[in-house]
Amino acid sequence: MEKSLIRPSFVTQFSCIGSDCEDSCCYGWNIIIDKQSYKKTLAHKELKSLAQTALKKVKKSEQQWAQMVLDSKGACGFLDDKQLCQIHAKAGEDLLSHTCKTYPRMSHMKDGDRYESLSLSCPEAARTILLKPDAFQFERMTVNHHRTFKATPIWAKKAHDYTIQLLLKPEQPIEHGLTAVGILMKTTERVANGELESSAIDDMFQQLLSLSNNGQLKQHFEGFNKDTEIHKMHAFTSMQLWLNTNKAGRGRSRFEQINQAICAMGDGDNKISMGRINQAWRDVALPALAEHQTLFSRYLFYYCYHMNFPQVDALTPSQAFRVMLLDFFMLRCYLAVIAAQKQGLSEHDIILCFQVYHTNRQHKANYSQYAVELLDKGQFEDLASILTLLA
């Protein structure tokens, strides 16, 4: 069967920076290797002695046969004193575990086509996606395979394509694009539930384009009740506290930098308010991001592509939208607190915020479910309330 492989240029442009990496993936991860690789590593003349201590048999299955042993700093036992991987240096890529061979490369299947991507939990991948020029050129290659697949429902295809168009509409602030996507997801949800025909999504998309062109979308956005500071602060602190429960490991020290920046926002009584975070966003972060005008549109484009929005986990289209807004909101808060602490934002700081957030998000297996529950409890259960996170 003839199918496609879709590869964005950020995948082609990416290259691991090894020992120059600010948060190496060779730290703090339980890397599992299969039985064959375990045996080959033990049989390799230059690796066998080290492998006796750097590998531990777990024998959970043929695929999960052994695990890399980490030292007291969480470093993989195969790293040398220059922080370079000795398996890669002495035996080549073939002997690396599947995770080491592929990370941060990922892919998802849709209608039998493969869509390649990168994980934002790798700092260099984040830099490539968010900051490098021409990161979003796509090439399509023909491949053959006979795997079965489930066809994507028409509502999901339309919602995905229209979302990207609304977010990337030229000259439109990203907040207005997100407002339009929220409205589109309400209609999409009704189509997914069988209450409306799929043509309702086309009609709504056209309507939203007109509303954007004649300024009514802006009015709509500005008309939302923005007096939800307490709820927003609650959402932010609940999410941050939950991410704080991640086990110590990779990314932890960088996560602590965010925690310290949050604490530094406290007033005389050590109280942190959304008002102070918003002020830091407006007064310091936004001017510092003037050189990176496309930062959030790149991020949201990547988000839609990488997560196949709105078919995210088992969420409904409206839930997927609310989780997307929570991610956007958290990142904006991170940038604001770091900007306040540093009195500006370097490229390093921007990558810190996105990479640390996504590393921690990725380590929560039930992230999206928790996020939806948190939003429900925090009175962000409908479109009008969730859009206040953009204010």
Q: Which of 21, 58, 69, 75 binds ligand SF4 (CB under 6 A)?
A: 21
Helix residue ranges, H only, 274-387 = 274-280, 286-288, 295-307, 317-342, 347-362, 367-377, 383-386
* Binding flag, residue 104, ligand SF4 (CB under 6 A): yes
Closer residue to ligand SF4 in complex, CB, 17/151: 17
Quick check: 264 and 337 in contact, CB under 8 A? yes
The nearest distance, CB 184 to ligand SF4, in angstroms, is: 34
Is residue 75 within the footprint of ligand SF4 (CB under 6 A)? no
Residue 353 Cβ, how far from ligand SF4 at the closest point, in Å? 16
b/e map of 34-63 (b: 16 or more CB within 10 Å)?
beebbebbeebeebeebbeebbeeeeeeee
User: What part of residues 113-142 is at the interface with ligand SF4 (CB under 6 A)?
Assistant: 122-124
Give the residue, chosen from 17, 43, 230, 263, that forms a contact with ligand SF4 under the rule CB under 6 A. Answer: 17
Q: In this chain, which stretch among 15-23, 175-183, 212-220, 327-335 interacts with ligand SF4, using CB under 6 A?
A: 15-23
From 21-29, 138-146, 309-317, 370-378, span contacting ligand SF4 (CB under 6 A): 21-29
Any idea what DSSP says for residue 122? S
φ, ψ (nearest 5 deg) of residue 79: -80, 140
Q: Say which DSSP state 344 is in.
A: S
Min dist CB 83 to ligand SF4, Å, is: 9
Please give the distance of CA 252 from its chain centroid, rounded to a whole number: 17
Which one of residues 7, 8, 10, 24 is an interface residue with ligand SF4 (CB under 6 A)? 24
Which of 123, 378 has the CB closer to ligand SF4? 123
Minimum CB–partner distance for residue 292 and ligand SF4 (Å): 21
Q: At what angle do helices 367-377 and 317-342 cross, to 10 degrees?
A: 90
Q: Which amino acid is at 226?
A: K
Name which of 86 and 379 has its Cβ closer to ligand SF4: 86
Q: Does 25 bind ligand SF4 (CB under 6 A)?
A: yes
Sheet holding 113-118, edge to edge: 105-110, 113-118, 2-8, 138-144
**Are 229 and 275 within 8 A, CB to CB?**
yes
Binding-site ranges for ligand SF4 (CB under 6 A):
16-18, 21, 24-25, 103-104, 122-124
